[in-house]
Every structure is written in C-alpha cells, then in structure tokens.
Amino acid sequence: MLAFIGGTGLTRMDNLRIVDKHAITTRFGEPSAPVVEGELDGQRVLFLARHGDPHVLLPHQVNYRANMVALKEAGATAIVAANAVGGITTLAPTGALVLPDQIIDYTWGRESTLFDDPADPLVHVDFSWPFDTALRDALKARLAASDLKWSDGGCYGATQGPRLETAAEIARMERDGCDIVGMTGMPEAVLARELGIPYAMLSLVVNPGAGKSTHEITMEEIEAVIHDGMANVCQLLAEFASDYRP
C-alpha cells in the first residue's frame, strides 16, 4: 500500500477519507501518531504525521525507527515523504518543489539503524542512491503533468535543528553540493532502505537558506509559503495516488 509521511504544514490530509487508524507499538516504542488508513480518489493509502498530530515533536525528537516500522507493519509497500526545506542553490527557489536524488547527513545523536541489537546479525545496506528510482520516476511524471514549479534532482542536506542554520553553515553546505536543507530526511530515508521499502522525498522550498537573502528569515514568511505550498502538495499526492501502480 502506498504511504505518505507528512511534515511541517502537512499534519493532516484534508482530502483523505479516513477508514481506519492503526495504533501500533513497535519494539522501538511509539510512532509520532497513529498510522491513518484512508482513501484518496478511491485509492487506499496510509498516512503518518511525522511530527505528531497536533504538531508537537521537534525534528530531533521524532522516533524515526518507530515511525518506519509502524508504517511497514500497517502494510506500506512504498513511501513518499513530504517536507519543508530551505533553498540553497538556484535549483530551489522559494515556493518550488524539489525531488531530490541525493542526501548528505549532518545530523548527530539520532538512532539511525534498525540493526543495533548485538543479538542480531550486523547488516550494511547499500545507500549509494538513497531514493527509489521507479518511485521517483512516477513522481516526476505526475509533476510534469502539473502546472507547479518544480526541479528534478538535487542534494538534500539533513541538519540537526531545531534552529535554522548560520550563513556560514549554508555556505559550507553549498560547497559540499547541497541544494536544499531540511531537518528530517535522515535517518528516515536509510531506515526505509533497511526495511526494503521504496522511498522518495518531495520537498517544498519555504525559505531561502541563511545568507541567501537580503533580510532576516521570519516564521511569518515561512508559514505563508507553507500554507499555499502544502495545499498544492496535498492535491498532487492525491493525484499521484490515483494513478500510481508499483
């Protein structure tokens, strides 16, 4: 079953007709919220609010392992994760959607693997290309058929948060090759790989990165972009669900 993870600004999908809620406790603890099962344009899908419902969890407080295991136990066979990001390069202007194809992980202290029990075999997963090609291609086709502003490819830099980055940090990330910056892409993406679930990310650029504009970043500006942009994301995901066939 196709699953969506909603980030900042997408705690609920208003166009989702809920048919069930799965309160799942995993061996890693409780997920951020119950896994919601519902219908989008007649297609059965799953939805999980990454930061809880209501939005209460900071990026470093999210139990990513419980979230991903709960989705798998609920029947997820593919995951599209939506998130709000800052733009670093010209690939990522404010208000645009980015379909990244790479990640650099700058987070620290997060539980980042399912294979840390000494009693279990040690497993190393290949993570050369962190996003599933077929799932990304399907998303690209849907984006190409829309009238939304979007970019194919780019590198997502995952930072610890919850503070925004300094201008020097954004300059460093740009030198490293990052096009966008967010706080939730890791370890979510690698946990999906460890579970064998195809995973792709759809990122809404809600502000320029630090030092990339002439004025201070304000939450009011970010929230205004989120309000309109996540409504577009919600509609796009509904259209994607209606024609996605794994």
CATH code at 206? 3.40.50.1580
- Among 178, 165, 211, 218, which Cα is nearest to 92's? 178
Tally of domains in the chain = 1
Q: What is the pLDDT of residues 74-125, one digit of tens each?
A: 999 999 999 999 999 999 999 999 999 999 999 999 999 999 888 888 889 9
For residue 9, the model assigns a pLDDT of 58
Q: Please give the annotated binding residues for substrate, written as ranges.
A: 183
CA distances to 82, 103, 240 from 94, in Å: 16, 20, 23
For residue 154, the model assigns a pLDDT of 96
Domain extent for 21: 2-243
Q: What is the pLDDT of residues 121-167, one digit of tens each?
A: 888 999 999 999 999 999 999 999 999 999 999 999 999 999 999 99
Token pair belonging to 119: 């009693």
Length of the chain, in residues: 246
In this predicted structure, the answer to whether residue 8 has a pLDDT above a threshold of 80 is no
The angle subtended at Cα 172 by Cα 6 and Cα 84, nearest 5°, is 15
Q: Please give the annotated binding residues for phosphate, written as ranges.
A: 8, 50-51, 184
Q: For residue 227, is it left (φ>0), alpha (ψ between -120 and 50) or beta? A: alpha
CA distance 210 to 233: 24
Q: Please give the annotated binding residues, written as ranges.
A: 8, 50-51, 183-184
CB 197 within 8 A of CB 72: yes
For residue 12, the model assigns a pLDDT of 65
User: Which residues have CB under 8 Å from 21's CB, separation 6+?
Assistant: 34, 35, 36, 37
For every residue of 184-224, which 3-state class applies, written as one string?
A: CCCCHHHHHHHHCCCEEEEEEEEEECCCCCCCCCCHHHHHH
Q: What is the pLDDT of residues 22-67, one digit of tens each?
A: 999 999 999 999 999 998 878 899 999 999 887 789 999 999 999 9
